[in-house]
Chains A and B, each alone.
Chain A
Amino acid sequence: MQKVSLEINGKKVSREIEDHTLLSTLLRDILSLTGTHIGCDTSQCGACVVHVDGKSVKSCTLFAADIHGSKVTTIEGLANNGKMHPMQEAFKKLHGLQCGFCTPGMVMSAVDLLKNNKKPSDQEIRDWLEGNICRCTGYQNIVAAVKEAASKM
């Protein structure tokens, strides 16, 4: 067991956790932030993507203890005072989600893309999102939503 302190969605959090606790486990099972989803057991699906110190990461691949002191943003922390982030708005406007299960990871991943590339092409969006699997949308409206968000940010 060890103590880990993080800033999660702007709030300071400290917990005693087992050494092998994954960040995704800390978020979902200990802090009840269930917006971060687990869709596979091989770090392939991307449903668990969150931001650690501003960068998108698959939270199922990180030990929570290894990022002690970091700032974490999850899907629950993306909206600002109840106003959805432009990426969330764009997904809604262009029907970039259906069942909603891959959506949190997809949105968090896409937000990070726009930090790196303000006006990505379709192909750049598709390449960036290669690590996020969606079974519902065929990705077309997701790509359109990311472009829409880029035009608004």
Chain B
Amino acid sequence: MASSLIGSRVERKEDKKFLTGKGRYTADINLANQTYAYFVRSPHARATISKVDISKASNAPGVVKILTGDDLAKDKIGGLIAGWKIVSQDGTDMKCPPHPPLANKAVNFVGDHVAIVIAETLDQAKDAAEKVRVNYKVLKAVVNTGDALNSKAIYDGIDKNLSFDFLLGDKGKTDEAFSKADKIVKLDLVNNRLIPNAMEPRAAIGDYNSSSEELTLYTASQNPHLSRLILSAFNAVHPEHKFRIVAPDVGGGFGSKINAYAEDAVVAWASKKIERPVKWVAERSESFLSDNHGRDHVTHVELALKNDGKITAIRVDTIANLGAYALVLGTVTPTYLYAPLLVGPYDIPTACCNVKAVYTNTAPTDAYRGAGRPEATYVVERIVTEAAKEIGMDQAEFRKKNFINKFPHQQCLVHNIDSGDYHAHLDKALELSDYKNFENRRSQSSAKGKLRGIGFSTYLEACGVAPSAVVMSIGAGVGLWESAEVRFNATGNISVFTGTHSHGQSHDTTFAQIVGDRLGVPIENIDIVHGDTDKGPFGMGTYGSRSLAVGGTAIVKACDKIIEKGRKVAAKMLEAKPEDVDFKDGEFIVKNSNKKKTIGEVAFACYLPGTFGDIKSPLPEGVEPGLMETSFFDPSNFSFPAGSHICEVEVDQDTGETKVVKYTVVDDFGTVINPLIVEGQVHGGVAQGIGQALYENAHYDESGQLITASYMDYTMPRADNFPEIKLGFTSTPATSNPLGAKGCGEAGTIAAPAAVMNAVIDAIDTDISMPATSEKVCNALQKNKKNKEAA
């Protein structure tokens, strides 16, 4: 009975509250005596500030307090931090500008925080904010990624706007391989800047209790413990032991709710100052301006080949735009999460990647669903497609010729891939997509006057961030483990505390399935608790498809400790030796007998160790009462999901309108706990990837104004933009965790952009950058036509 939970399409435990309007997001929380905050933000991309005059605004109706960067400095509130130090190839540390939560003498992007206005009502706060007078001296902004290195420095001491110059791989060996290549294929690529757009705008409520001196921050966060650590250790907002962060229901994250933002620090600090709750909820336009953005790379890639189609080397030069400041994962995203994946699922003998990370006067970038891996996959799958075309080989055949075939496989850059079968998922995708009849479909489209194209993307990603041993070996300061506490209550039900956080990922269900399977307790009797630093141990949170592979494993390990303790107690109760007691489906059974105790009975005995028949106490000597166990799991390696996406598009030759008409995905996520949930993760990921390829783009004009700052201007994918996506699975379990799970949250977003763009380029027979909007495609077709006429 119990073992059937793994791999079962269990309906979600968390759904009912969301479906009946009883979800509780931060904006839904209202506290007694609360005030409302509104932020004064910079309207300029780059300016110095000579004065912030709050005198008129302070006297406006309802105003409680206005605080500026000067107040922050006086209280010694620290700056926002970059979480990972990157070392340049010349051995110097990366350079980071100061990043105060409220501007101190300078603003560096449109939306940068200048002051907080706190009033009795939100309307009053907004009205007063208009009366804050800021004397700006506007300076020329640096906006474009590709121009940043040649532009005048934004910050003193950061020459060429260069934060770091990172190198991974063997440059000498790679250059040599290129010198011996039969063929070299080259591409210049832009990975367009995106805005994550979780549907719940960010929100934060600071609530200081002057009696207990406890500060509570309710915030839409993917990682409340990590935010508390940052806000207490680096921002000095409040001591950690008196600081509680609650991330209640959170409406999507996609990386944009990892950072402890300026607003988090400021409302928490402001609440201490006024000794009243301070509530801030972002308007969508504020989200567009000040949530971290994603991607934004300019890349040159070269691939060295033998005449038979064997890849011998890859060489990549990337300029990555950090935006105005370096954020928590802002520097690790275009380096450790990006560069090691630039050999894809292919057996490439040598590789070299240089990343120059630059500052510009744009919103800071950080992890966005996939974080570095979509950028890497886009580079690899675009150049591989181009190479197959130039060599004149079939796309599938070319990939198969270069796939890694034996596992474990030590890649030339960093990763040791423990398991996989890349031929299996590609073969299955070819079959599901009816690849062999593609040319017929192309002809049918052609008969309707449409151009049809097909694109492949065979991705490999690294999930389960981040095994300390691996990331430290390549220079990262810390790894990221995960915690779990499994707590039996005396009556036999279970509370499970996880350091991960669910904001759509369905942890309440998946983790309950794992515990139910392990301990033989019905999932109705298992409660998964997360999102509150006052409950459960420190945990790193949810991002990088880590919750199951790392957090789920911590839960398994805590369950195993429960079983081991339970075995000793059951043995005493059953008057047997512990080694003679088996545990199966929730029961401790003495071998070769019908003597048994349920785990519920054992839990009760652990908490209330009274008299059981002849037994005075069920607790063996040295065994403490209670039944709760904690585990901290630091994996030995990343996990490596892989898969094949095959996309077909149709292009209207007159309007340039491009539609995805057929989309097939076959993923290898190792062990799947709940296929219903995993399919949902793939659908959503693919939709975001198609969004990047065809619709979405964060566009700044040359003065640094964000032109796409609303849903009227930034094209969010809608229901009518997609066909039904066809899914299939293969499975080679991960060996780095006992579940065999590899992670599934980001795969869709990682693979899809390349598959779609390869299809678009196949259809229109000309290179084009993302997003392939109707306008761009139409112009490309016109240009193509003119070129052909001229020729």
A interface list, Cβ under 8 A from B: 28, 32-42, 44-45, 47, 74-76, 78-79, 84, 88, 91-95, 97-104, 107, 122-123, 125-127, 129-130, 132-143
Contact A107 B19 (CB under 8 A): yes
Q: Is B21 an interface residue (CB 8 A)?
A: yes
Q: Is B151 an interface residue (CB 8 A)?
A: no
User: Which residues in B have their C-beta under 8 angstroms from that of A40?
Assistant: 284, 710-711
Closest residue on chain A to residue B681 by CB atoms:
A98
User: Which residues in A have their C-beta under 8 angstroms from that of B92?
Assistant: none
Interface centre among B27, B199, B283, B712 (most CB of A within 10 A): B199
Closest residue on chain A to residue B509 by CB atoms:
A95
Closest residue on chain A to residue B286 by CB atoms:
A41
Contact B199 A39 (CB under 8 A): yes
Contact A136 B19 (CB under 8 A): no
Q: How far is the CB of A104 from chain B (nearest CB, A)?
A: 5
User: Which residues in B have their C-beta under 8 angstroms from that of A97?
Assistant: 15, 18-19
Given A99-B503, A101-B252, A136-B684: A39 touches B201 (CB 8 Å cut-off): yes
Which of B16, B676, B718, B748 lies in contact with A84, CB distance below 8 A?
B16
Closest residue on chain B to residue A43 by CB atoms:
B711
Contact B684 A130 (CB under 8 A): no
Given A99-B199, A140-B725: A36 touches B716 (CB 8 Å cut-off): no
Given A95-B677, A140-B683: A38 touches B504 (CB 8 Å cut-off): no
Contact A38 B27 (CB under 8 A): yes
Closest residue on chain B to residue A139 by CB atoms:
B719
Which of B254, B284, B710, B722 lies in contact with A138, CB distance below 8 A?
B722
User: Which residues in A have their C-beta under 8 angstroms from that of B198?
Assistant: 99, 101, 135
User: Which residues in A have their C-beta under 8 angstroms from that of B687?
Assistant: 137-139
Contact B710 A99 (CB under 8 A): no
CA distance A42 to B288 in the complex (A): 13
User: Which residues in A have their C-beta under 8 angstroms from that of B720?
Assistant: 123, 126-127, 129-130
Contact B712 A44 (CB under 8 A): yes
The 6 A-B residue pairs with the shortest CB-CB distance in the complex, in nearest-first order: A35-B21, A100-B18, A101-B251, A138-B687, A99-B504, A44-B711
Contact B19 A103 (CB under 8 A): yes
Sample (15) of A-B pairs whose CB atoms are under 8 Å apart = A35-B23, A39-B201, A39-B251, A41-B285, A88-B20, A91-B19, A95-B12, A97-B15, A99-B200, A100-B504, A134-B719, A135-B684, A138-B684, A138-B687, A138-B688
User: Which residues in A have their C-beta under 8 angstroms from that of B15?
Assistant: 91-92, 97, 100
Contact B21 A137 (CB under 8 A): no
Q: How far is the CB of B432 from chain A (nearest CB, A)?
A: 16
Closest residue on chain A to residue B23 by CB atoms:
A100
Q: How far is the CB of A118 from chain B (nearest CB, A)?
A: 19
Q: Encode B709-727 as 1/0 by CB contact (under 8 A) with A.
A: 0111000101110101100
Q: How far is the CB of B756 from chain A (nearest CB, A)?
A: 14
Closest residue on chain B to residue A77 by CB atoms:
B21
Closest residue on chain A to residue B725 by CB atoms:
A140
Which of A94, A102, A103, A135 lies in contact with B254, CB distance below 8 A?
A135
Which of B20, B30, B504, B710 lies in contact with A98, CB distance below 8 A?
B504
CA distance A88 to B724 in the complex (A): 22
CA distance A138 to B16 in the complex (A): 21
Q: Encode B685-698 as 1/0 by CB contact (under 8 A) with A.
A: 11110000000000
CA distance A143 to B16 in the complex (A): 19
Contact A45 B199 (CB under 8 A): yes
CA distance A130 to B720 in the complex (A): 6
Q: Encode B549-561 as 1/0 by CB contact (under 8 A) with A.
A: 0000000000000
User: Which residues in B have their C-beta under 8 angstroms from that of A103?
Assistant: 18-19, 23
Q: Is B506 an interface residue (CB 8 A)?
A: yes
Contact A92 B11 (CB under 8 A): yes
Interface centre among B251, B506, B688 (most CB of A within 10 A): B251
CA distance A133 to B720 in the complex (A): 11
Q: How far is the CB of B751 from chain A (nearest CB, A)?
A: 14
Q: Encode B743-781 as 1/0 by CB contact (under 8 A) with A.
A: 000001000000000000000000000000000000000
User: Which residues in B have their C-beta under 8 angstroms from that of A126?
Assistant: 719-720, 722
**Which B residues, 1 to 58, have Cβ-Cβ distances below 8 Å to chain A?**
11-12, 14-25, 27-28, 30
CA distance A127 to B197 in the complex (A): 22
Which of A39, A94, A95 lies in contact with B200, CB distance below 8 A?
A39
Q: Is B249 an interface residue (CB 8 A)?
A: yes
Contact B21 A33 (CB under 8 A): yes
Q: How far is the CB of A114 from chain B (nearest CB, A)?
A: 15
Which of B30, B679, B710 lies in contact with A41, CB distance below 8 A?
B710
Which of B25, B30, B710 lies in contact with A42, CB distance below 8 A?
B710
A sample of 18 more A-B contacts (CB under 8 A), given A133-B716, A136-B252, is: A34-B27, A35-B21, A39-B251, A95-B679, A100-B23, A101-B199, A102-B199, A126-B719, A129-B718, A135-B197, A135-B254, A135-B684, A138-B683, A138-B684, A138-B685, A138-B725, A139-B687, A141-B683
User: Which residues in B have their C-beta under 8 angstroms from that of A138?
Assistant: 683-688, 722, 725, 748
Q: Encode B263-298 as 1/0 by CB contact (under 8 A) with A.
A: 000000000000000000001110000000000000
CA distance A7 to B67 in the complex (A): 43
Contact A130 B719 (CB under 8 A): yes
CA distance A95 to B503 in the complex (A): 15
